[in-house]
């Protein structure tokens, strides 16, 4: 499955637009507990523990989006965007949310370039 942030792929012809596809991932994040437990990870303002959580959530969101595009008969997703949010749970931590959205399309046979696969679980 080809997944790109651009609205078109040069030299390729879209046979059918299949609509908006999305994927979401939400992971728990208790900032106070996690920061204290992973203080050693924070170097120069970065936390390896949170970066790993974000990477995993991004892969889940992209995988769900690709699964929806495949179910609709698509072979590519165009105009992909990613959104990252922190949902504050007032005193008990919060949730990290990553959402992916794009337009599922079906390219004419034989016109797709080689794609880099989205990681699977």
Query: Position of tokens 């959205």?
Result: 101
CATH T-level assignment (fold) for domain 2-107: Translation Initiation Factor IF3 (3.30.110)
Average confidence (pLDDT) per 10 residues, the chain, 121 residues = 94 94 87 54 63 89 98 97 86 82 91 59 49
pTM equals 0.78
What is the C-alpha separation between 13 and 101, in angstroms, rounded? 21
Q: How many Å separate Cα 104 from the centre of its chain? A: 14
Per-residue pLDDT, 27: 84
Task: Report the pLDDT value the prediction gives residue 75, as an integer from 0 to 100.
Answer: 94
Write out the E strands in 1-61.
Answer: 2-3, 14-29, 42-43, 46-47
Provide the pLDDT for residue 54: 84
pLDDT at 46: 66
Identify any residues that bridge with 21 across adjacent strands, giving them in sequence order: 102
């Amino acid at each position: 499955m080809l997944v790109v942030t651009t609205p078109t792929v040069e030299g390729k012809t879209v046979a059918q637009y299949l609509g908006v596809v999305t994927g979401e991932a939400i992971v728990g994040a208790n900032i106070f507990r996690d920061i204290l437990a992973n203080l050693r990870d924070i170097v120069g303002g970065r936390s390896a523990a949170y970066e790993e959580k974000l990477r995993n959530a991004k892969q889940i969101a992209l995988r769900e989006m690709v699964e929806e595009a495949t179910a609709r008969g698509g072979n590519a997703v165009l105009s992909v965007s990613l959104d990252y949010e922190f949902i504050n749970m007032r005193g008990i931590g919060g949730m990290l949310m990553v959402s992916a959205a794009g337009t599922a399309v079906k390219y004419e046979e034989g016109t797709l370039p080689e794609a880099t696969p989205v990681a699977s679980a």
